[in-house]
Chains A and B, each alone.
Chain A
Amino acid sequence: MNNKQKTINLKINGEFYEFEIGEKDWQIRPHHTLSHTLREILNLTGTKISCDDGACGACTVIMDGKAVLSCLILTVECDGKEITTIEGLKDPKTGELDLLQKKFIEHNAFQCGFCTPGMIMSSKALLEKTQHPTEEEIKEALSGNFCRCISYYQVIKAVKAALNERR
C-alpha cells in the first residue's frame, strides 16, 4: 500500500504551484503548516503568525471560499485547494487595492496592523458569502480575529462602509 503522495498542487492567489513532498530543503515536509509554506517558501509574508495555535486569527486565509486558520492546517493536506491570501486581493493587472483594503485604510481600521490581514480575509470571506450581512453577522464573522490595539470599532465601520459602497 503506497498511498503517500509525492507532490501536491495548490492554486494560490490565482497562480498554480506544484510542490514536492519530502525532507529536502526545497521540499514541503509533512509537518509544515500552510502559514509556514506561504511565508517561508512563497514569501507571502502578508499572512501573519501570532499565537500559532488557532486562537488569534492573524493567519486567516481563504481556502475554497472559507476563512480558515493557516497555522493549524498542514500544507500536505491542501492538495487541489484554492487559496487566497492578503496579497491576492489587489487587482493583479492594475495593482488596485480591493474595496475592503481601501475602506480599512480610509477608516484607520488598524494601529500596528499585525492583525489586519487576518481581519480583512475574514471580512472578505463574509462579503463573498453574504450579500447584506447585519452588524451582528459582521461581529460574529470577525469574532475569531483578535486585535491588541482595540481597532475593532474602526474595523466594523470599514466593513460596513465597504458594504454600502458595494450596493
Chain B
Amino acid sequence: MKPFEHYNAKTVKEAVNLLSRYKGNAKVNAGGTDLISAMKNRCLKEYPKAIVNIKTIPNLNYIKTKGKTIRIGALTKLSDIAESPEIKKYCRLLSDAARSVASPNVRNMATIAGNLAQDVRCWYYRYPHQVGGTIKCLRKGGELCNALLGENRYHSIFGAAPLENYPCSEGCPAHIDINIYINEIKKGNIDDAARTLLKSNPLPAITGRVCPVFCEPKCNRGAYDEPVAIQCIERTIGDLILERYEEFYQQPVAETGKNVAVFGSGPAGLSAAFFLRRYGHKVTIFEKFSEPGGMLLYSIPPYRLPKDIVKRQIKALEHMGILFKTGVEIEKDITIQELKKKFDAIFIAIGTWESIKLGVPGEDAQGVYYALDYLKRINNGEDVGIGEKVVVIGGGSVAIDAARTAIRKGAKDVHIVCLESWDFDSKDRMLALDDEIIDAEEEGIIIHPNLGIKEILKAEGRVKGIQTVRCLSVREADGTFNPIFDESGPSFVIEAESILIAIGQRTENFLYSIFKITDDPSVFIGGDMETGPSTVIQAIASGKEKAGAINRFLNTTEFYKENQRIQYFVASNFNQLPRIKIQKVPLKERVSDINIEEILSVGFDDIQTESKRCFNCGCLATQPSDIAVALIALDAVIVTTKRRIKAKDLFKATATRLTNLEYDELIKDIIIPIPPIESIQRYEKFTLRKPIDFAIASVAGILKIENGICKDVKIVLGGVAPEPICIDGIKRDLAGKKIDHEIAEEISQKIFKSAYPLSQNAYKVQIAKTLLKRAIMNNP
C-alpha cells in the first residue's frame, strides 16, 4: 500500500469534519474487505490521501426493537446481525442476507454500513496494479466498459449504469440526448424516442439530413467496427415528428405573458423560437425574405434538404403558436428601437449573407457570381444562365453545393478550384465534408486543389477563364488562415463561361451597427451572425443557449423543465450487426433534377435494428451488496448525517458511483419497519464458491399468502444489475391470485423479457429466473 494519513475517529462529527476537510480525497474504513483490498491492489482511480477509521466511534453498534421497527446501528457487525434472535424472528431475510456475506471471519469484521457503501467487485475495476498495471475502465476515466467486449460472465444482464456524459452527446454542439432516444427505439418506443429527441433538438428532420455529424466520430462503437448511424436514425424519427407535428409541436401548457421578437428564421432563429415558446413566451419571428427558413431554404440545395421539409417544419412551429412575419428587414423596415417598445426581449440571428470578395483583377466581369447569391436565386425558383463550363472557387460546403447545383441545372463541365488540399487528413484539407467531396467527384465535378486565383480573365467584359497560381500552404500549424503562393511557379489557365465565388461570407456591412447594441440587456445575438459561418447544428445549439439566456433575463417563474437525464440504468447491448447501408438515388437520376433528394429514407424496422448496435455505453458492474437487496425488500429507511432516505433511493447507480452518498456523508442508522409476522420472507443467493464470492444472482422476497392466495408481495433482485432491481409491477400481477407454478413462470418470463444478457452471461438469466420462481412459490 502507498502511505496515507490515518485517523481513528471518536465521533461521527469528527469523521464528517475530516471527510469534508479532505474534500473527497479521504476514504472511510468501516471494516470488511473492500477498501484495504482495493488499496493493496492499487486499483483505485485516485489513491486516497487519508483513511478515516469509523469503527472507533462508540454507540453505533446496536440492534434495537422499538415498537413496530427494528433499528440497526451503522457499525453493527454482520455476524451480530446474522445471529441476532430479534432479526431472525422479525426480519428473517436480513439475517439470511447477512449470513450470506463472505466468510464468518469477514462477517466478524464487516459492518452493515460498510456493506451498503462498498464499491463494485468488477474484476476489471479491481485488477491489481501489480499484475501489469491498472486497467483504465470506465469508472477510472476510460471510455468504454471492458466488460462490454471482454469477459463478462459476472456482469449485469439488465444494462449499464449511465455515464455522466456520453461521448456522442458531448460531441454534438446541441448535446442531444442521443443515447436516451436510441435506447427508446431499441425498446420499440418510437413515440418516446421522438419526444426525447425533440427536447434537445427542435429540427431533427433537418439535422437528420444536413448535419456534419459531430456525434458519430465520437461513438465508441467506431473503435470496434463502425459508429452507429445516428444521423440515419435521427432522420427517420425527425420525419415521423413532422408527419405528426400536431401531436409533437404543442402549445406550451402555460403562457408567461412575455413577448419576444426573433429576427431571422434560419436554424438559430427557429431553434430559439422553439425553446422560448416552450418556456411559455409569445414569440414572433421576422424574416426579410418572402419565406421563412433562412439558409435552410435559400442556401442548402433541395437535393440535400427538400423545400417541403423546411416548409413543414415552419408549419409545425406555427402550430406551437409562433408567429412568422416575412418580408421585414431589420433596421430598414423596422428598427431595433421600435422593436424594443413592443417586445420584452429581442433575439437577432440574421446569419451571414454577404459574400466575401476575391479581390483579384477581373472580378467585375460579366459572368462572375457569388455562390450564395446563385444558390439563393436558384432556390427561389429563378433561372440563372451560367452556361455549360463553370468554375467554382472555394473549398467549403457552399462551393460544393454550388457546383453540384450547377450540374443539376445543366452545366456540363464543372470545376472546383480551391487553395486547400484534397487530402482529407491534411491540415490544409478542404473544409467541405468527406462525403460531399466524394459525391461531387462521383457526379463528374473536377476538383483542382492547391490553387489560388491570380486573375479572372475576360474578353469584351465577359468571363473567359481564370489564371491560377500554385498554393503551397493554406494554414499555419495553429489553424490560422495564411496562404503562401508559389508566385514564380507554373501558372495555368482554366477556361470558363461563368465563375461562382464561394470563399466565405459574413454579416452584411450595414448591419454591423447591431453589434454595438449588445450591451443592451434585452437584445441578444446568436447563430452565424455571432460565430461566423458554421453549421446547422451549431446554429441550433446557439439558439437553444440564447433562449435559455433570454428566459433567465425575463426571469419568469413558469419554467419549462430542461431535459433531466434518466437516472435509471440503460440497456447495454452488444450485437454483431453491420452498420446500415445508406441508400442513394442512382447517379444519373439524381443529377437530372435538383429536387430529387439524394439520400433515401429508412424505415422503422431498419432503424430499430441499427439502434441495437448502440453499446449504450455505461458501467456493467453489478451492485455487490447483499444487505442492500434485503433492506430494499424490507422497505428500510437509511439515516445518514445529512438525510433520511429510503433504501431503494440510496442505490442509484451511475458509471462512477453505486450510491448517491456524498463524500462527507455517513450512514448512521437503519430503520426497518417490522413486516407482518405471518409474512413469508426469503433471501437466496447463488454463488460459485459460497464463502468468498459475490452473488451471481440473489433474490429477497416478502410474501403474504392466505389460503394459497397472494395478498401482498415484494421482490428485489440482486447481482443482476448496477442497482438492486425492485420489481415494481409484481404486486399488480400477483395480488389476489393463486400461487402456483404457472403464475410464477408467467411472471418470471415477463420480468426477464427486458433482460439484455451480454455475450457470456445469458446463464444468469436462467439462475435469476429460478431464484425468482422459488421465491414466489416459496419452495425450499
User: Please, which residues of chain B bring their CB within 8 A of the CB of A23?
Assistant: 3
Contact A66 B79 (CB under 8 A): yes
Q: Are A67 and B3 in contact (CB under 8 A)?
A: no
B150, CB-defined interface residue at 8 Å: no
Using CB atoms and an 8 Å cutoff, list the residues of chain B in contact with chain A: 1-10, 14, 17-18, 21, 29, 32-33, 36-37, 39-41, 51, 53, 55-56, 79, 102-106, 108-109, 690-692
A-B contact count (CB 8 A): 95
Across the A-B interface, the 9 shortest Cβ-Cβ residue pairs:
A144-B103, A30-B6, A54-B33, A31-B1, A66-B108, A143-B691, A77-B53, A55-B692, A72-B36
Residues of A within 8 A of B40 (CB): 52-53
Contact of A67 among B21, B41, B108 (CB under 8 A): B108
Stretch at the interface among A1-9, A88-96, A101-109: A1-9
Residue pair B55, A143 in contact (C-beta under 8 Å): no
**Set of chain A residues within 8 Å of B36, measured between Cβ atoms:** 33, 54, 72-74
Residues of chain A within 8 A (CB-CB) of B108 are: 66-68
- Chain B contacts for A86, CB-based, 8 A: none
Complex-state Cα separation, A99 to B205, whole angstroms: 83
Check: A44 CB closer than 8 A to any chain B CB.
no
Assuming A3-B10, A31-B39, A53-B33, is B109 touching A69 (CB within 8 A)? yes
- Determine the chain A residues whose CB is within 8 A of the CB of B9 once the complex forms: 3
Shortest distance between the CB of A33 and any CB in chain B (Å) = 7
Interface check A79, CB cutoff 8 A? yes
CA distance A29 to B2 in the complex (A): 10
List, sorted by A's number, 9 A–B pairs whose CB atoms are closer than 8 Å. A4-B6, A53-B40, A54-B102, A66-B108, A67-B105, A69-B105, A77-B8, A77-B56, A145-B105
Tell me the nearest residue of chain A to B690, going by C-beta: A143
- Using A69-B109, A76-B53 as known contacts, list a sample of 4 further A-B pairs with CB atoms less than 8 Å apart, ordered by residue number in A: A1-B14, A69-B105, A72-B33, A74-B36
Q: B6: which A residues are within 8 A, CB to CB?
A: 4, 21, 30-31, 74, 76-77
The contact string, 1 if C-beta is below 8 Å from chain B, for chain A 43-55, is 0000000001111
The A contact surface, by secondary structure, is loop
A156 close to chain B: CB less than 8 A: no
CB of A37 closer than 8 Å to a CB of B: no
User: Within the complex, what minimum Cβ distance (angstroms) separates B708 from chain A?
Assistant: 32
User: A74 to B102, Cβ gap below 8 A?
Assistant: no
A76-B6, A77-B8 as given contacts; A144 in contact with B37, CB under 8 Å = no
**Inter-chain contact A144/B53, CB cutoff 8 Å:** no
A57 sits at the interface (CB 8 A):
yes
Report B-chain residues with C-beta under 8 Å of the C-beta of A60.
105
A68, B690: Cα distance in complex, Å: 18
For A5, give its contact among B8, B102, B692 (CB under 8 Å).
Answer: B8
| A73–B104 touching, CB < 8 Å | no
B53 to chain A: which residues have CB within 8 Å? 74, 76-77
Which listed residue, B14, B37, B105, B690, touches A122 by the CB 8 Å rule?
B105
**In the bound complex, do residue B29 and residue A74 qualify as a contact, i.e. CB atoms below 8 Å apart?**
yes
A141 at the interface (CB under 8 A from B): yes
Please, how many angstroms separate the alpha-carbon atoms of A110 and B644 in the complex? 51
Q: How many residues of A are counted as interface, with CB atoms below 8 angstroms from the partner's CB atoms?
A: 32
CB distance from A53 to the nearest CB of B (A): 5
- In whole angstroms, what is the CA distance A86 to B105 when docked? 16
Q: Report A66 CB to chain B, min CB distance, Å.
A: 4
Whether the pair A30, B5 counts as a contact (CB closer than 8 A) is yes
Contact among A4, A5, A72, A144 with B691 in the assembled complex (CB-CB below 8 Å): A144
A140 interfacial by beta-carbon distance below 8 Å: yes
In the assembled complex, the Cα of A110 lies from the Cα of B699 at a distance in Å of 38
A53-B33, A76-B6 as given contacts; A144 in contact with B51, CB under 8 Å: no
**Residue contact A143 to B104, C-beta cutoff 8 Å:** yes
Contacts of A79 in B (CB 8 A): 8, 56
What's the least CB distance linking A161 to chain B, in Å?
A: 21
Closest to A21 in B: B6
CA distance A15 to B37 in the complex (A): 29
Least CB distance from B332 to A in Å reads 70
Q: Are A4 and B106 also in contact (CB < 8 A) when A53-B33, A74-B51, A143-B690 are? A: no
A1, closest chain B residue (CB) = B17
Question: How far in angstroms is the closest Cβ of chain A from B694?
Answer: 12
Beyond A30-B6, A68-B109, whether A77 also contacts B29 by CB under 8 A is yes
Chain A residue with Cβ nearest B32? A72
Interface centre among A3, A60, A140 (most CB of B within 10 A): A3
Shortest distance between the CB of A27 and any CB in chain B (Å): 12
Which residues does chain A contribute within 8 Å of B4, judged by CB atoms? 30-31
- Chain A nearest CB, measured from B131 CB (Å): 12
Chain B residues with Cβ below 8 Å from A145 are 103, 105
A76 to B690 CA separation, bound complex (whole angstroms): 31
The residue from B3, B37, B690, B692 contacting A72, defined by CB atoms under 8 A apart: B37
